[in-house]
Every structure is written in structure tokens, then in C-alpha cells.
Structure 1
Amino acid sequence: MTTNESGPTIVIVPGLRGHVEEHWQTILATTIAGTLTVPVSSDSNASLDDRMAALDETLAAVPGRALLVAHSAGVVITAHWAQRHPGTDRIAGALLAAPPDLEAPLPAGNLSPQALTELGWTPVPRGPLPFPSIVAAGTNDPLASYAAVARLADAWGSRLVNLGEVGHLNPASGYGEWPAAVELIEELTAAAATVGS
């Protein structure tokens, strides 16, 4: 079992569908002591403002600094949150896994570009993030081309990690556990400790 006694509090930022029992974020939350998960409304069409308010409420419960672990639309939430909180020192870093390209048409069963705009999700912020970040993405994600993700990572000033053919890094793609998440979190935690010293 992994503990996080001396580092920042891990805050899980789920995607649009929220808590999924078999998801690597859910599994991760049970393996790192003190981890908090941003709650998600049962309304899968929740507005960005609703999701931002939930993140703010979760961060208010963190006694020190937080390290965000975001997946899919949770990555977009993180980018919007950073834009609204420039110069923040509350966030020690962020692991941004499988960001979707919300400005391109998504596969059937997902929100339309018009709905995403009306709900506040787009345009996706492209300013540099004010904290260390790693974007981890696959080469065959149905929700974003690797080239689109690479452009986001470059705009945010994030280190880009190519995960290979992992789809959307979710249970539908065979994940489940994702052990590399712990290694990337440890890298970000070490970077935050260096910045803070």
C-alpha cells in the first residue's frame, strides 16, 4: 500500500461519468492514504461551473497543498480551474491523463460540440499551467488524436508521456489498474518538494 504522509494530498478529478468502480482512479484512491475524490453529480451533463464548484469544495477540505490526478474531462476541469486561479500555490502538481479533444466532434454517445460550449467546457484554456504537470496519453484514444493532446501539453507547459496503445485509459480500454500512475505521481511529488525547498 502506498502512503502519502509527507507530501501533498492527492485529489482525484474524475471525468464526465464520475466515479466508476473498476476505474484506475477509483483503485488509486484506495491505495494512497488520505486521497480525496471530487464528487460528481448523477447528471452526466453537468455544467463546467458545477464541476468547478465541486473541485473548489474538495480543495477547501485539503489542509495543505494538493496534487491533482485528473482523467478525461477532469483534465479540462483542471485547465479551467488553473485559468481562474492564476498564481495559485495550492496545487503542487497535476497528473493529466487522457485529455479529450472537446473542440473536435466526439464519438456517438458523447456530448455534441454545441452542448459542450453551452455547458461552458469549451474553448479549452491553453495558457501555461501555474504548477508542474504531466500529460499522459495514448496513441489510439477515440476521444483525442495524439497530435491534439501533444498541442495541449505544449500549450500548458506539461511533460508529455506517450503511453502507447491504451485507448482512453479506462475500463472499456482494459484499465483497471494503472501502476504507472503511482510512478508519475511520485515524480510530481518530488518536483513539488524541490520547488518548495
Structure 2
Amino acid sequence: MQERQPNVHSDNLMSLETTPTVLIVPGLRDHVAGHWQTLLEQKLANAASVPPLEHDKLSCAARVAALEAALSAIDGPVILVAHSAGVMIAVHWAQQQHSRPVHGALFATPPDFEEPLPEGYPTQDVLSGHGWLPCPRKPLPFPSIVAASRNDPLARFDRVAAMAASWGRRLVDLGEVGHLNPATGYGAWPQAETLIRELL
């Protein structure tokens, strides 16, 4: 499938390479070749990522612990760049009163775990049993941008808009970009760089 990209252009990366570390927080499928998060980490000189789990891959607590460990290994300010379930990992982490400050976060196409997901994805019973539910709704302690799709199979736009409002953060309407992943035709996502720059 030919890769598509939202209608935005990429500026140079000078400001990103001299500012906070960009920490990539992947979803449950971890690092996927050709995914915009993987490509972004390869492109930026100041990027790192949360490593894949070897065990307890569906455990929210294990994912949050992995994020905490990755953050602890970084000195200085951090911008989180999370996609899909990675958004939920970051939100669960943020609302557990960790003392590690975060400069800001870009949350792209978060899933709605409070409604049934399409076939092939974990059921609500499984998600609940692994600690993902309920979805945290308290305001976040750092600036963030929530980028939402109009035709994401994992979450209705209005539901993501409600999440962003409860977290007290800005919502960006991406239009019809599916789940913003290779399966829906998206590789590099230049708009990520633009949105990250807005958090600097």
C-alpha cells in the first residue's frame, strides 16, 4: 500500500536536536518497522524510546514501570511522544503521582478502551483484568497535544475529544487518517515534528 501523509510539511530539525529529549512511547505492538514513531526516533538526534517488554506484554502496570525506567535513565527535560495504547500508558503513569517532571507530550490517536475494540484486539474483560480500565480522567500535570483521527477504528472522534477535555489539553483534528499507522497507509508523519515543536 502506498504510504499517505497528512497535508503538512516538515521544517528543519535544528530546534528539536538542541532541546528536550523526545521519548517515544509505543503502543502494545511495540516498535513496528515503517511506523512514524520508529522513523522519528531514527531521524532525531535527541530521541529515545521505551524498550519492548519481554513478559507481561498486556500488563498496564508493567508498561507504566517500563516508561518510568526509561524516564529515569534520561537527564534533563523530556517530551513524551505516544501513540495508540502508548497514550494510555503515559496517562496512567502521569496520574500515579510520579515526581519526574515532563516538559510536554504529544498524544496521537489514543484508543478508547472503554468501548469494545474491533475483532482481533483485546476485549474489555481482558483490558480490565490487566489494569487498563477505567481510563484516567484527571487533568494532566504537563502541557500536551492530543491528535485525533475522524475515522480511527479504535476510537470515535468525540470520545477522544472528551478524553482531551478531561485531561485539560489541546485537541488537534487530523481529519481521516485511520489509526495513523502502517496498516492504514501511514509511515512518516511530518506533522509530529511540527506539533512537538509547539511544545518546546
TM-score, structure 1 length as denominator? Answer: 0.91
1:23 alignment partner in structure 2: 35
Alpha-carbon distance in 2 for matches of 1:185, 1:137:
15
1:104 is matched by which residue type in structure 2? E
- Contact 1:65–1:91 (CA<8 Å) still a contact in 2? yes
Alpha-carbon distance in 1 for matches of 2:134, 2:143:
22
Instruction: Give 1:90 shift.
Output: 1.7
* Deviation per residue, 1:105-141 (Å, 9 max, x gap): 0000000000001100111100000000000011000
Q: Give the number of aligned pairs.
A: 188
1:38 alignment partner in structure 2: 50
Q: Gaps spanning 5+ residues in structure 2: where?
A: 1-11
Alpha-carbon distance in 2 for matches of 1:129, 1:36:
22
2:132 alignment partner in structure 1: 121
* Deviation per residue, 1:140-165 (Å, 9 max, x gap): 00000000000000000110000000
Instruction: Work out whether 1:178 is the aligned partner of 2:150.
Output: no
Percent identity for Structure 1 against Structure 2: 54
Alpha-carbon distance in 1 for matches of 2:56, 2:183:
18
1:6-155 alignment runs, 5 A limit = 6-42=18-54, 45-85=57-97, 88=99, 90-155=101-166
TM-score, structure 2 length as denominator? Answer: 0.90
1:80 is matched by which residue type in structure 2? H
| 3-state SS, counterpart of residue 84 of structure 1 | coil
- Contact 1:40–1:51 (CA<8 Å) still a contact in 2? no
- Which protein, 1 or 2, shows the higher relative CO under an 8 Å CA cutoff with sep ≥ 6? 2
- Contact 1:116–1:122 (CA<8 Å) still a contact in 2? yes
Q: Gaps spanning 5+ residues in structure 1: where?
A: 190-197
Instruction: Give 1:9 shift.
Output: 0.6
Instruction: Give 1:29 shift.
Output: 0.2
